[in-house]
């Protein structure tokens, strides 16, 4: 590994640690500023309501979970445990937070992977078709689909798919985690807004790239329409699309909360709803840290992919900043793209 790459990775890891610490701290402060008592909420059934309980029992439970300590002591203890990969114990059921997240994560990861694969196919396909079509009305129709997909509420899409493909046409199960068939409707629901975001950015990048002089040069050299579209224009248009990877991952994580609730799937999304309703502070903090870790890992991976897609980008100057400059300077094609 070169010293340049090692230095860049060291800086990015440091930034990732800072982001995780900030996420942990902000979540801790917000949760502990809430006026309700999480122990009282737990005794009330974890439905976000407090009930009248024996003060002695309440005090004993608060002491058991360390909630009677001063706020700085609670923060320092929680941070120290987190540094040792101990996210604490759930207030709601007494189980370790790491175990609860570990049990729920595989189902959400499977759903997110299926949705991302489907979104990639739909998004890239829509962008390519909208810029490939020769008829103006076809282009206009295809270019109108991404804004429509972004604007549709996720829960409404899920309910519509259940109504059409589960109740009227019993093709797929409406609820649960059993079998591959139960994954189809949730994956489609989650993929709709993500594919729309990909299609919007990629279609805009393709239209810009196809209007650049190097495309005319490639055509003048005898390159076919497919080669110009797929090899030359698409490669340059990929840079802006890669930049929104963090947004795409955020949409997948946020959408999982809604989708898993609509389809009654057991996963991170449903666990998040339960933790928030019950004000389960350790569990909510663990889930926020998981989301932050996925976000920073995705952005680091994207930064490492930039030089692979476009050799002009160098890690030393900051891949993301270089990618933005490259996306704006599309008049210069990727090295070798007009050969």
Q: Which of residues 57, 83, 109 is at a domain's end? A: 83
* pLDDT for 40: 64
CATH code of residue 193 = 1.10.3720.10
Residues 103 and 214 in one domain: yes
* pLDDT for 310: 66
pLDDT band for position 95 (cuts 50, 70, 90): confident
* pLDDT for 330: 39
* pLDDT for 38: 64
The residue segments making up the domain with residue 246 are 97-328
**Would the pLDDT of 239 be above 80?**
no
Is residue 146 situated within a structural domain? yes
Please state the rounded mean pLDDT for residues 273-291: 83
Is residue 209 situated within a structural domain? yes
pLDDT band for position 107 (cuts 50, 70, 90): confident
**Would the pLDDT of 25 be above 60?**
yes
3-state secondary structure of 282: helix
Q: Which of residues 83, 110, 126 is at a domain's end? A: 83
As separate numbers, helices (DSSP H) first and strands (DSSP E) second, the chain gives 15, 0
User: How far are the Cα atoms of 27, 54, 254 from residue 40, in angstroms, in the given order?
Assistant: 20, 10, 28
**Which token pair is 317?**
């100057």
Residues 138 and 26 in one domain: no
Residues 201 and 316 in one domain: yes
Residues 170 and 212 in one domain: yes
* pLDDT for 326: 43
* pLDDT for 44: 58
**Would the pLDDT of 17 be above 80?**
yes
Is residue 336 situated within a structural domain? no
Q: What percent of the chain has pLDDT over 70?
A: 80
DSSP of 73-123: HHHHHHHHHHHTT---B-TTT--BHHHHHHHHHHHHHHHHHHHHHHHHHHH
Is residue 92 situated within a structural domain? no
* pLDDT for 41: 61
Residues 267 and 158 in one domain: yes
**Would the pLDDT of 318 be above 70?**
no
Contact 21, 78 (CB under 8 A): no
Q: Who has greater pLDDT, 143 or 53?
A: 143
Residues 115 and 75 in one domain: no
Q: How many CA atoms lie within 13 A of 56 on its CB side?
A: 0
3-state secondary structure of 180: coil
Please state the rounded mean pLDDT for residues 70-93: 81
Please state the rounded mean pLDDT for residues 210-233: 77
pLDDT tens sequence across 155-181? 888 888 888 888 888 888 888 777 788
The β-bridge partners of 89 are: 96
Q: Who has greater pLDDT, 12 or 47?
A: 12
* pLDDT for 333: 41
Q: What is the rounded distance in angstroms from the CA atom of residue 319 to the CA atom of residue 65?
A: 44
Residues 108 and 73 in one domain: no
Residues 74 and 124 in one domain: no
Is residue 214 situated within a structural domain? yes
* pLDDT for 339: 35
Residues 208 and 275 in one domain: yes
**Which token pair is 217?**
């040069």
The mean pLDDT value of the chain amounts to 77
* pLDDT for 328: 46
Q: Who has greater pLDDT, 265 or 1?
A: 265
Is residue 337 situated within a structural domain? no
**Count of domains forming the chain:** 2
Q: Which of residues 60, 83, 106 is at a domain's end? A: 83
pLDDT tens sequence across 115-160? 989 988 998 888 888 887 777 777 788 878 888 888 888 888 888 8
Is residue 333 situated within a structural domain? no
Contact 285, 24 (CB under 8 A): yes
Lowest mean pLDDT among 150-164, 237-251, 292-306: 237-251
* pLDDT for 64: 66
Residues 125 and 197 in one domain: yes
Is residue 339 situated within a structural domain? no
Residues 308 and 168 in one domain: yes
Residues 40 and 105 in one domain: no
* pLDDT for 312: 63
* pLDDT for 315: 55
């Amino acid at each position: 590994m070169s010293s340049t790459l090692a230095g860049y990775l060291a800086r990015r890891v440091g930034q990732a640690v800072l982001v995780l610490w900030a996420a942990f701290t902000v979540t801790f402060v917000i949760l502990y500023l809430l006026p309700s008592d999480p122990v009282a909420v737990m005794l009330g059934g974890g439905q976000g309501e407090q009930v009248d309980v024996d003060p002695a029992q309440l005090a004993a439970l608060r002491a058991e979970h360390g909630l009677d300590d001063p706020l700085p002591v609670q923060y320092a203890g929680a941070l120290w445990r987190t540094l040792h990969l101990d996210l604490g114990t759930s207030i709601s059921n007494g189980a370790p937070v790491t175990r609860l997240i570990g049990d729920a994560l595989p189902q959400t990861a499977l759903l997110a992977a299926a949705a991302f694969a489907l979104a990639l196919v739909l998004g890239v396909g829509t962008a390519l078709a909208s810029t490939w079509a020769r008829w103006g009305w076809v282009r206009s129709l295809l270019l109108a689909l991404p804004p429509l997909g972004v604007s549709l509420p996720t829960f409404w899409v899920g309910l519509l798919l259940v109504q059409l493909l589960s109740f009227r046409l019993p093709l797929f199960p409406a609820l649960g985690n059993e079998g591959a068939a139960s994954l189809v409707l949730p994956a489609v629901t989650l993929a709709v807004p993500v594919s729309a975001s990909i299609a919007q950015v990629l279609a805009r990048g393709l239209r810009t790239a196809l209007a650049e002089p190097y495309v005319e040069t490639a055509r003048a050299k005898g390159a076919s329409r497919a080669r110009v579209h797929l090899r030359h224009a698409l490669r340059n248009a990929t840079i802006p699309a890669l930049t929104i990877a963090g947004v795409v991952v955020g949409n997948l994580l946020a959408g999982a909360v809604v989708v898993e609730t609509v389809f009654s799937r057991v996963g991170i999304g449903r666990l998040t709803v339960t933790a928030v309703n019950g004000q389960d502070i350790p569990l909510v903090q663990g889930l926020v840290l998981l989301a932050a870790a996925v976000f920073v890992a995705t952005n680091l991976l994207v930064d490492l992919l930039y030089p692979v897609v476009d050799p002009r980008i160098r890690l030393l100057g900051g891949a993301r900043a270089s990618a933005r400059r490259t996306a704006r300077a599309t008049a210069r094609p990727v090295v070798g793209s007009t050969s």
